[in-house]
Chain A
Amino acid sequence: MHELSLVADLFTIIEQQANQAGAKKVTKVVVSVGELSGVVPELFRSAFQSYKKGTIADKARLQLKMVKIKFKCRSCDQEITARNIMDESFSYVCPACGSKEMELIAGRDLYLEKLEIET
């Protein structure tokens, strides 16, 4: 429920990057959203639409790339992608060797991947 404050931070990065590159306009914004980042895509989208007005990204399209939750076993290096962490059957035990030393390697992050700009 804090998508608006995240979008505000996103725009700080967008404006800084766009200025650095001498952009006149930002036409597309690509954001990578981990499934465990706590971000609700619909809320992020609507926060983006209202925040962009009057900024350099006024007309920009937002593309959200969802990133699946992924674990790696510390004992045998097996990687598993969690289909749904809320699955009743889900557990952080390595299906290959039974180890409980599973490291979360993807799915928590939220980052600005790229911009499309006009110079």
Chain B
Amino acid sequence: MEQKKKELLVLEDILGSNKKIAGQIRKKLDEHGILAVNLLSAPGSGKTSLLEKIGLELKDNYRLGVIEGDIETERDADRIRKIGLPAWQITTHGACHLEARMLAKIFDQIPADLNFLFIENVGNLVCPASFDLGEGLRFVLLSVPEGDDKPKKYPEAFITSQVLVLTKCDLLPYLPFDTDRVIKEALEINPHLKVFKTSATTGEGLDELCAFLEEELKLRLSQHA
């Protein structure tokens, strides 16, 4: 039998299935008036510690929930439950990032009356940046011990985020970390980044960060009303 070769123009987004599910999640979140925040950083930059502090500060006035993404263990979710907040652990069993379909699987368990849903991504400054989870805001965290050269070395995380949170600022006196350089370079690759200097240890910057979150929630509620 004769074989015929032909070319087939496809033009299909390989990340399309993730984007589609993320879009569905975003729509539901908007309908419920939930502000979801996706937190990205290298392992150990202080994501869970920051969430513990923000949680304590906001929990009397708002309904909060936390999704914890880790490769293995329930440890981070347990830390969040200890401060009295509902937490859902997603273990990726090896995968280096959260994907929208992983969230979709547990989405039914999330109460529709939440105000804030924090999503702690797997500790990794590279891969999570490529996967939309349907979040309303993306935070990238950079801790002082990691060094001040990171924004241009890991540009995607900084380009796709709306907020840069410098963490562990209590360590500034002990480490050669040029805060101005980091902020300058981060703004060069993303001029719209909002920057917060924080410490979970001393509490520095947490009031400002929480006030910002409250403002963002209000803004969204008025837009989607």
Contacts and interface: CB of A to CB of B under 8 A. Distances in A.
Contacts of B129: 38
B153 interface: yes
Contact of B96 (A2, A18, A118): A2
A104 B156 CA distance: 11
Interface string B155-180: 11001000000000000000000000
Interface in A1-55: 1-2, 5-6, 9-10, 12-13, 17-18, 21, 23-24, 27, 31, 36-38
B8 A21 contact: yes
Interface stretch (B28-36, B61-69, B186-194): B186-194
A93 interface: yes
Contacts, number: 103
A116 B14 contact: no
B188 A92 contact: yes
Given A21-B8, A116-B6, A117-B8, A10 B14 contact: yes
Contacts of A1: 96, 126-127
B108 interface: no
Interface residues on A, range: 35 or more
A38 B126 contact: yes
A110 B14 contact: yes
B155 A111 contact: no
Chain B interface residue count: which class?
Answer: 20 to 34
B159 A36 contact: yes
Nearest to B127: A2
A110 B18 CA distance: 12
Contact of B14 (A13, A23, A91): A13
B15 A9 contact: yes
B142 to A, nearest CB: 16
Top 10 A-B residue pairs of the complex, sorted by shortest distance between their CB atoms: A91-B188, A100-B191, A38-B130, A115-B8, A110-B14, A112-B10, A111-B13, A112-B12, A119-B4, A1-B96
Interface of A: 1-2, 5-6, 9-10, 12-13, 17-18, 21, 23-24, 27, 31, 36-38, 85-86, 88, 90-93, 100-102, 104, 109-119
Given A116-B7, A116-B8, 8 more contacts: A2-B96, A2-B97, A38-B127, A109-B15, A110-B15, A115-B10, A116-B6, A119-B4
23 contacts: A1-B126, A1-B127, A5-B99, A9-B17, A13-B12, A17-B10, A23-B8, A27-B5, A31-B14, A38-B129, A38-B156, A85-B189, A86-B152, A90-B152, A92-B189, A111-B11, A112-B12, A114-B9, A116-B5, A117-B6, A117-B7, A118-B3, A119-B4
